[in-house]
Amino acid sequence: MTDYQEYLNFLISALASQNKKQLVLSENTALVADIGLSSLEVMEFIEKIEDHFDISIPLNILPDVNTIGDLARKVRDLNL
């Protein structure tokens, strides 16, 4: 079973190409407010995660997601 830290590490590495501001990414980095992802870029990022873990992330969980850590926890829960 992959734990939270592993999900977090993958998410941070997967965001590298979209981290145009070259921020130091952590679990507290906000996807939109800090990194500045557009809605289209968020969906591309989500698809990357889905294909990596072979899961589907329901749209209805996204309103609760602000930070990379929030998303890592959601992905972990989907895999439980």
Partner 1 sequence: MLFDKFQTMANFQAELAARHVKPFGAVTEEILSATEGVVQGRRVILAGTNNYLGLSYDPRCIKAAQDAAARWGTGTTGSRLANGSFAEHQALETEIAQFYGVDHAIVFSTGYAATMGMCSTLAGPGDTILLDADSHASIYAGVKLSGADIIRYKHNDPDDLAKRLRRLGERASQTLIIAEGIYSMLGDVAPLRDIAAVKREYGGYLFVDEAHSMGVLGETGRGAAQAAGVEADVDFVAGTFSKSLGAIGGFCVSRHAELEAIRFCISAYIFTASSAPSIIASTRAALRIIVAEPQLRRQLWDNANRLYDGLKALGLPVGPTASPVVAVEMADRSATIDCWNALMQAGVYVNLVILPASPSTNFLLRNSVSAAHSSAQIDTIIAAYAGLVSAGLITPTNKVN
What phi, psi does 67 have (nearest 5°)? -105, 170
- What's CA 13's distance to the chain center, in Å? 10
For the bound state, the minimum distance from the C-beta of residue 7 to partner 1, rounded and expressed in Å, comes to 17
For the bound state, the minimum distance from the C-beta of residue 62 to partner 1, rounded and expressed in Å, comes to 10
14 binds partner 1 (CB under 8 A): no
Matching residue, tokens 């850590």: 69
**CB closer to partner 1, 1 vs 40:** 40
> Is residue 48 packed enough to be buried (19+ CB in 10 Å), middle (13-18) or exposed (0-12)?
middle
22 binds partner 1 (CB under 8 A): no
Site string for partner 1, 53-72 (x = CB under 8 A): -xxxxxxx------------
**CB closer to partner 1, 24 vs 59:** 59
15, 45 contact by CB (below 8 A):
yes
